Structure 1
Amino acid sequence: MKYNGYTIEELTDIKNMALTFIEAIDMQLEELKTEHANEIVLLKLENTNQLLALEDENARLKGEYSDLVENFADLKTNIIHQLKTHNV
């Protein structure tokens, strides 16, 4: 007996091929999801490392600024002391 010109065996073969095709697509989608998830993790790690480097640089610059302010204060004190000492 035929349905739309196909035998039951032919329709079963077509169905099985379609299921195999769908399974292959599902596997590829899962691989893509995994690849994208891995890429996202790597990007987050890279961003975290960059942020940590920026925080370290910021702390270093704050330390340098603090040292400069302290040195300036010492210099100012020395200049005032010398001016007073020499009665200027």
Structure 2
Amino acid sequence: MSKIKSFFKKHSKKIAVSAVACMTAVIGCFSSFAAEAGQAASSSDLQSSFSTAISSIQGDILGYIGLALPIGLAIFGAIIAIKKGISFVRGLIGR
């Protein structure tokens, strides 16, 4: 049991990324494989549904990135400014 725990601790980030990728693929497949009751879905219907689902996921992800990017850049810029300001003041003081 300790070997399994150590494996998961060692590879936790890789496992998390793989799990998110798998969940995204499964969610995309739900809408692509959903067919009307009593009707068989053709290959072209499945391809178009899957393409639509992937495009929708892509749009959603890019929208979230567009929302989070300005905030992340502002926080990153503030951290860099504070660090540079502290080093500037230390340089003036002579430490």
* Interval of TM-score (by shorter of Structure 1 and Structure 2): 0.3 to 0.5
Q: Which has the higher strand share?
A: 1
Higher relative contact order (CA 8 A, sep 6+): 2
The structure with the larger Rg is: 1
TM-score, length basis structure 2: 0.42
